[in-house]
Chains A and B, each alone.
Chain A
Amino acid sequence: EVQLVESGGGLVQPGGSLRLSCAASGFTVSRYWMSWVRQAPGKGLEWVANIKQDGSEKYYVDSVKGRFTISRDNAKSSLFLQMNSLRADDTAVYYCARLRGYLDCWGHGTLVTVSS
């Protein structure tokens, strides 16, 4: 069974940092692009970042460029999102997902709350 499980969310103060992880199982992670997508409370879905199979290409939504870094460890079937200089408007549930242009498999999400 294809499965993605996020972890690492929590409460952080504005300006702080957090590192999200996503553990994949049931498929060969190294064969796929992977994504992070977020959803602010009561709002819609927003794409955050994509990473190529070997990590050589990375793309970000403008609002997180220079603050967030997507990475992966194929040997450990894991995806990461390092989030620095966090702002209140980064508060959201963060989902990792398998990217095939469309997103065909999603994790359950992890909540990040940025507040003092």
Chain B
Amino acid sequence: GENVEQHPSTLSVQEGDSAVIKCTYSDSASNYFPWYKQELGKGPQLIIDIRSNVGEKKDQRIAVTLNKTAKHFSLHITETQPEDSAVYFCAASRGAAGNKLTFGGGTRVLVKP
């Protein structure tokens, strides 16, 4: 089955700096890669996703890049703010089975004011 590795497990940045989280996946048939943000005591919430026919996608301060050849994808957060502090998860799935997500282990991001 699919295996998703996520690094780093914790990330501390100064407010205004950029944060980068990296994930690798094992199943070359995976074609959908969402990123979730989880705040304390809440369920994960989708912040951005990318499909395998696209190499990069941006949404305001958030961007995701995908390298299918190397089987890795990354989340980039620019101009970080204290409200960006949370746990971030990457995930992968294949085909129409987008509800069968395989998650990475998560990255706890702390933005220091």
Are A and B associated in one complex? no
